[in-house]
Structure 1
Amino acid sequence: MAYLETRRVFWSDGAGRTTSPVRRVFWRTSAGVEDHHTLAEASSATSSVGNQFFDSHCHLDLLLEREGGSASLTEYMRRARVGFPTDFGGCLTVFCRPNHWSRSSRWMNLLEDSRVYGAFGCHPHRATEWNGHTEAVLIEILRSHPRVVAVGEMGLDFSRNNHVPSDVQRKAFQRQLQIAINEEMPAVLHLREAEREGLEMMQRMVPRGHPMHWHCVTGQWPLIRMCQEQFDNSYFGFTPLIYNVNASNARMVAKALPLDRILIESDAPHFLPQEHRGRTRWSHPGMSEYVTRALADLHDTNRDCVKRQTRENAKRLYGIDMRW
């Protein structure tokens, strides 16, 4: 992933200031940040700072809008109803609403936190917002901000919850795939009841070694195995949905995949773990720790192993350096 360290940037903040002409992405732990809460269920008292976990997919902008009153992850952590475990290390937040990208002050504030990286893409539920202007804005953001490391989430969603015409979704997905290829950046994929068609589209367009993040895996193992074989730089994300009684496919796939191809995701503010229902309405990035528990059980190992491996997977995929 060396290309992530040599990309030229040209972002302007509107005041005549621009970033460095070379893209360099480094992880550093914020000094002076305190976690004021811990999860009662977490084994945080024995967790070492050097074995923190990384939430590979969340939506901080949606979470902060719904909770209200917080402008940054640090501020939210201080006032969260359900606290963050002390072994929470950071997250990748996904900005997938194109009509909100012009509000640069909001997403730039979130990315000022040294624990937060970003991805930008047009969600298939928002595909009607995709147009020439949207595409130009996306390309500028990808090339400009040093903490933006991926394109997405993008894809196809033919479930009954999405009313966007399929041809509109296909057009937005195809263009974003091409942008990810051109910009040499990982693609974050959302494929719901459209896995086979999405895979066929990628087989026609995407180089075999292109980095892929298959978000919120729920499909059946034969198809997921095909995705893994066709694109050998693929990583597969699992959310707290893995605990759902109807998520047997997700559990089967999570067990079949090697740990060095798995990512943990909160998908916050979605998928609130059962343990916290009634205490808060929305999930947060710290709750991806529940996925580490499920994976440890499925792979007959311990949580420290899962945290360490999934963190290393995110580092490789996104080319980021977590200085923990």
Structure 2
Amino acid sequence: MNLLNPKKLVLSLLLFVLLLVATGCSSDNATDVSADTKAEIVLRLSEPQVDEYPDSIAEKAFAEKVEELSDGRIKIEVYTGGQLGDETTTIEQTQVGIIDIGRANAGPLTQFADSLGVFSFPFLFEDREHMRAALDSSLRDTLFADLQESDLVGLAFYDAGARSFYSTDPIEEVADLKGKKIRVMQNDILISAFKKLGTSPTPLAASEVYSALQMGVIEGGENNVSTYVADGHYEVAKNFTLSEHLRIPGVLFMSKSSWDQLTAEDQKLIQQAAIDSETVQLEEYDKFSQKAMDTVKEAGNNVIELSDEERKAFRENVQSLYDEYDSTYGTLFEEIEKAKQ
């Protein structure tokens, strides 16, 4: 009697098992499960500020909203405290898709979108309500379209407060600025504006301002009240004048390469969550700013409020700057003017 070769028996059994597996995998039920399964998307967001900062809080709310709207399919990991780099690094790495989402002040973003330079003009907005109205108008689309030319997709505008003057001697009227050495950001528009206000504008790195004030190298600076306190400048420049001459917003943006990989539906929900986060950020910034102002007053510093007449005089001194840049920013000036309430 001939017996089956053991090697052939093993081979036959293997072929039989493979046939069963192949048949099972081709069942209609298995195909349906595969079709209904969507891959999870994980996006990285870079925030230069610390966890407790209003922007960080808003971005975490944004991430939660995206996860909720996508039924947990899209997750955004928020890296705060500059873990992924400072503002400039964040912009550059988001531009090339290394980082998916970033946040930076409109100031450094100007080198990637010229139109954002409009925020460098003093007294551009009557108040915060005017700025918010302008950013909720066609101006938003204009600025974000310009940003997209540099492979960045604008998602939201965050409030960064109003910048005001602080000094070693009181500034109660325009005449008090005459000849004063005031620290200014390295920005041609601002330097020109401060000259028109009568100051001797002095560009300095932010890290050098404290010692420069202490040693009398400069007699003042300008920033929002939160930074005035956070950087300790309130300790060496005891006068804070509420000129509120500049409002430069923060911008939440996304890498265009990351954006283009999303479906239209996912793009829409991310955009909606980003817009919703603006309200969170605004509320948090109000609390943050008020806490800083309380610190200034508790320190016994002199907080100076300008009269309507003095505020008008400040504006009039820089008005010619708008005429000089009309060919570049004239259309944007008109859009912002229309948004006045």
Q: TM-score, normalised by structure 1?
A: 0.27
Greater fraction of residues in helix: 2
